[in-house]
């Protein structure tokens, strides 16, 4: 019975996550811990498994459309995978209460960032590292015109990816919001490229974290399996529905939901 409830819950989380581009992990971890009273470490491990599955399908689509900067993604993964390993090692010494507090703060930050209007911050110059490593590139626009772009602040972007990797391992999230913010704001990538590249990286980062949790025995099949399957199903239908539902209205409703859940997570952490 519990497995069916987890499956249905994960379908809803995947659906909402796909509508907002945040992934189902940011929703399913608070639900599992607050309503089903699942150990937060088991919930985080299950979320990481689902992130690997959902990211893979979307990443393949973006690669096919030539939106992902593969060379840049591989370089930045040095930071995220290192951060994921550090995050896993730190997690062993962190109390569950602190994880609740950290997750609550992250949810509140995500709610604020969802209200932020995304704009292009393109640059006409390469950072020396970007030139040396050939990290700049181009992507196709809807009118079949290719747009060239440069890459700035590579060291800052690499450091930000390290922090995103730590958060991914600690909280069982893809931390895509931080990756996109770093590539948009610091590295001056086009929004389409930063989103596609972030999606590719999320799966790799989550794989590193999930492997570590698997070795420690935190992945419980009876929890991870229905959650992963449910989020995959929900993400599929969420992506289809996103075309028809006004994005502004969805974001307004979801900001309220995220804010309420974040406060609940913080209160539970303080208790």
Q: What are 143-172's pLDDT values in tens digits?
A: 677 888 888 889 998 998 998 888 878 877
Number of domains in the chain: 1
Residues 6+ apart with CB under 8 A from 255: 111, 114, 115
Q: What is the extent of the structural domain holding 259?
A: 2-270
Q: What are 186-204's pLDDT values in tens digits?
A: 888 887 788 788 878 887 8
pLDDT score, position 124: 73
Structure tokens at 252: 């307004």
223 burial level (CB within 10 Å; 0-12, 13-18, 19+) = buried
CA distance 198 to 73: 8
pTM for the full predicted model: 0.74
Sign of the dihedral defined by the CA atoms of residues 250, 229, 210, 61, in that order: negative
Q: What are 232-252's pLDDT values in tens digits?
A: 888 778 766 655 666 566 667
């Amino acid at each position: 019975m519990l497995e069916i409830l987890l499956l249905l819950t994960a379908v809803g989380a995947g659906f909402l996550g796909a509508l907002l581009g945040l992934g189902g992990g940011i929703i399913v971890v608070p639900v599992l811990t607050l309503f089903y009273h699942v150990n937060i470490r088991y919930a985080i491990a299950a979320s990481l498994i689902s992130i690997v599955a959902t990211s893979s399908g979307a990443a393949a689509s973006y690669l096919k459309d030539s939106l992902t900067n593969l060379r840049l993604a591989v370089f930045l993964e040095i930071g995220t995978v290192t951060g994921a390993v550090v995050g896993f090692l730190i997690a062993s010494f962190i109390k569950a209460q602190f994880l609740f507090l950290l997750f609550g703060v992250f949810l509140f930050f995500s709610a604020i960032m969802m209200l932020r209007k995304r704009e292009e911050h393109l640059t006409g110059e390469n950072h020396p590292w970007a030139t040396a490593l050939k990290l700049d590139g181009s992507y196709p626009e809807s009118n079949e015109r290719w747009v060239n772009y440069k890459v700035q602040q590579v060291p800052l972007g690499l450091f930000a990816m390290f922090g995103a990797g730590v958060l991914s391992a600690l909280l069982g999230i893809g931390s895509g919001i931080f990756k996109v913010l770093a590539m948009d704001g610091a590295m001056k990538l086009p929004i389409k490229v930063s989103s596609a590249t972030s999606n590719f990286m999320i799966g790799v980062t989550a794989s590193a974290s999930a492997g570590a949790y698997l070795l420690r025995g935190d992945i419980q099949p009876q929890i991870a399996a229905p959650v992963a399957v449910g989020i995959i199903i929900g993400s599929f239908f969420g992506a289809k529905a996103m075309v028809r539902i006004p994005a502004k209205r969805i974001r307004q409703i979801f900001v309220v939901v995220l804010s309420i859940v974040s406060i609940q997570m913080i209160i539970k952490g303080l208790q």
